[in-house]
Chains A and B, each alone.
Chain A
Amino acid sequence: MTEPLGADAGAAATAGGRPLLRFENVTKRFGAYTAIDRLSIDIRQGEMFALLGPSGCGKSTLLRLAAGFERPDEGRILLDGQDMADTPPHLRPINMMFQSYALFPHMTVAGNIAFGLKQDGLPRAVIAERVAEAVALLRLEGLEKRRPDQLSGGQRQRVALARALVKRPKVLLLDEPLGALDKKLRDEMQAELAALQRRLGATFVIVTHDQQEALSLADRLAVMDRGRVAQIGRPGEVYERPASVYVASFMGDVNLLEGTVARADAGGLQVDCGAAGYVRVTQPKACEIGGRVWIAVRPEKLSLERARPEDMTLNAVRGTVEAISYHGPTSLVSVRTGDGLLLRSAAVHGAADASTPAVGETVWLTWAPATGVLLDH
């Protein structure tokens, strides 16, 4: 791997990547329930792709469709341009890391890792060599002879990963790979997983319900909602420019202001938000004057001021501090505006922390027009 290491190294490498795994108008029903609804996604060669959504949104079903455990009712799943409809799971060059890890309890660590290679009928020496390689890659040395129930959670997770990776699959599917680990271990493994993927240049599809995990791991991610894709994009895009109220609220805490488009000019739009006054948004989005819209602003974009700021280009809303919840590095300040709207601002605890207001104090919430996002009603 000669690519430069940087924040966007993975994304740069994949920007021109060809589609490797393609879902084309896929529908999957279980009885009367539609789990996947006419969904299309292209996953590119060499990228780390995250499927993100609340439980029941169909993300795990999508993974099982790719692995071949479920068959689509409509649509096609293409791997490298080949329709996978008639390929049973054991013949697909796709491997999965199960949420429960699904380690074979009657086999050792080495036995588990070698299992898939034995199915391919590889010579014994090759199997031994590749198992050793995988053991080294995932730092499992010394554990080869153990049984799964003699391993810690983190070790089991690595065995499951090794077992799937050792087959050198075209696509590796990971179903909530870090879900069973505790917080600290999860953060460590997150970094390790990303490094591993980059080093191998492999295509990973990871299912998660944790938006933090998706944001920090993925090159691109798809937010799913009831069997459909709500938005696909790079983590920054999806977080900063959500396409809908659903995505905005799923991707983290958000303030939503409801209003009517009052004016459009070169600088953007003026939205009449009732008691909160006129709010300016600089989003170049075609909007009908008089149409109802939402404005989404992340709490960390709102600043708290004791007085109305001089800079008239900033949006400003007055309110009373109702509650302050302490979150360690930040505090979340809830402010009730005149018309009863509750807005939240994340205040970072700086060195000069005199500015944190007290409950009951009247404050101004201000933000730059560029940080708000206009969403359809």
Chain B
Amino acid sequence: MRPPAQPRSSGARLVVLVPLLWLACFFLLPALIVLKISLSQPAVAQPPYAPTLDLAAGWAGLKEFLAGLSFDNYVLLATDPLYVGSYLKSLKVAALSTLALLAVGYPLAYAMARAPRRLQGFLLLLVILPFWTAFLIRIYAWMTILQRDGLLNQALLALGIIDTPVTWLASDTAVYIGIVYSYLPFIVLPIYASLERIDPTLLEAAADLGCTPTQAFWRVTVPLSLPGVMAGATICFIPIVGEFVVPDLLGSSATMMIGQTLWAEFFANRDWPLAAAVAIVMLVLLIAPLVLYEHLQARFMASER
């Protein structure tokens, strides 16, 4: 397609400016404030951190403000095993649950793409629908199922698979179940989209050229669905790292994920600067997978051309 015309009129400029300014005010600016406050110290005051920038004091005020900033919070994060452990735990949970999501989501997406055409729209709707019910509700539903006298234990006892009730809640298993459950649509949709785009004649061509269905799957279908896999994995991995609700309701309190740590620093300890530093470090950690994703995607696009 030809590139459309440049915005010329003032009306067109407004179309760009209004959302741009909104996001600059309520997304970009707050991120900068977080950065600033992460360099401050907690104080028993309102707001509960120091120094605060006093614009009325002019240059001197700015100087004093800059002098008051420090990297103490970051030093603490890097040296205290509590925080390091929390970050590592988050990354581990995110990595393993992304793998689990792929293991569950790929077959589901593949089955959807192989279903009869007229069913596919309906199946797609079925996968999206749970996403419209509240996250909190879906996690709460699992609390009912996983608790000590919950349905899962009742079922397993009745089937004679276990003799005594298993403690599911407050465990890592419960966290993985909860995450896979609530993020499943996010991984199924992009994979399905890339599978559905594959021209069926490609598989016929592969068969014609001597591929068994299994070989065709691994040599044609899987490589062509990789963009969807990468997109899905990225979309899931990043928010899972900062996940709060699932580990808080389903997990144990032994090792907290970093989202919980941030929440605790903020709400329980009222150490806003440290919470801000936790957030900044989390962001930095998350930039790496995003850059990797962009890179892989660019390479894939280039190879497709």
A positions within 8 Å CB-CB of B: 30, 61, 64, 69-71
Q: Which residue of B lies closest to A28 (CB)?
A: B2
B5 at the interface (CB under 8 A from A): yes
Chain B residues whose C-beta falls within 8 Å of the C-beta of A69 in the assembled complex: 5
CA distance A70 to B1 in the complex (A): 13
CB distance from A24 to the nearest CB of B (A): 21
CB distance from A100 to the nearest CB of B (A): 13
B positions within 8 Å CB-CB of A: 2-3, 5
CA distance A71 to B5 in the complex (A): 8
Q: Which residue of A lies closest to B2 (CB)?
A: A30
Q: Which residue of B lies closest to A86 (CB)?
A: B8
Chain B residues whose C-beta falls within 8 Å of the C-beta of A71 in the assembled complex: 5
Q: Which residue of A lies closest to B4 (CB)?
A: A69
CA distance A30 to B1 in the complex (A): 11
Indicate if the CB atoms of B3 and A30 lie closer than 8 Å. Answer: yes
CB distance from A64 to the nearest CB of B (A): 8
Chain A residues whose C-beta falls within 8 Å of the C-beta of B2 in the assembled complex: 30, 61, 64, 70
Query: Can you spell out 8 A-B residue pairs with CB atoms less than 8 angstroms apart?
Result: A30-B2, A30-B3, A61-B2, A64-B2, A69-B5, A70-B2, A70-B5, A71-B5
Q: Which residue of A lies closest to B8 (CB)?
A: A88
Chain B residues whose C-beta falls within 8 Å of the C-beta of A70 in the assembled complex: 2, 5
CA distance A69 to B3 in the complex (A): 10
CB distance from B164 to the nearest CB of A (A): 65
CA distance A69 to B52 in the complex (A): 53
Beyond A61-B2, A70-B5, A71-B5, 5 additional contacts (C-beta under 8 Å) are: A30-B2, A30-B3, A64-B2, A69-B5, A70-B2
CA distance A61 to B5 in the complex (A): 13
Chain A residues whose C-beta falls within 8 Å of the C-beta of B3 in the assembled complex: 30
CB distance from B268 to the nearest CB of A (A): 56
CB distance from B5 to the nearest CB of A (A): 7
Q: Which residue of B lies closest to A61 (CB)?
A: B2
CB distance from A361 to the nearest CB of B (A): 43
CB distance from A72 to the nearest CB of B (A): 12
CA distance A327 to B94 in the complex (A): 68
Q: Which residue of A lies closest to B3 (CB)?
A: A30
CA distance A71 to B3 in the complex (A): 12
CA distance A197 to B78 in the complex (A): 80
CB distance from B6 to the nearest CB of A (A): 9
CB distance from A77 to the nearest CB of B (A): 15
Q: Which residue of B lies closest to A64 (CB)?
A: B2
Chain A residues whose C-beta falls within 8 Å of the C-beta of B5 in the assembled complex: 69-71
CB distance from B179 to the nearest CB of A (A): 43
CB distance from A62 to the nearest CB of B (A): 13
CA distance A217 to B298 in the complex (A): 48
Q: Top 8 nearest A-B pairs by Cβ distance?
A: A30-B2, A30-B3, A71-B5, A69-B5, A70-B2, A70-B5, A64-B2, A61-B2
CB distance from A30 to the nearest CB of B (A): 6
CA distance A3 to B5 in the complex (A): 43
Chain B residues whose C-beta falls within 8 Å of the C-beta of A61 in the assembled complex: 2
CA distance A291 to B57 in the complex (A): 88
CA distance A64 to B3 in the complex (A): 13
CA distance A69 to B6 in the complex (A): 11
Q: Which residue of B lies closest to A71 (CB)?
A: B5
Q: Which residue of A lies closest to B9 (CB)?
A: A88
CA distance A30 to B2 in the complex (A): 8
CB distance from A29 to the nearest CB of B (A): 11
CA distance A188 to B37 in the complex (A): 76
CB distance from B75 to the nearest CB of A (A): 49
CA distance A70 to B3 in the complex (A): 9
CA distance A307 to B3 in the complex (A): 61
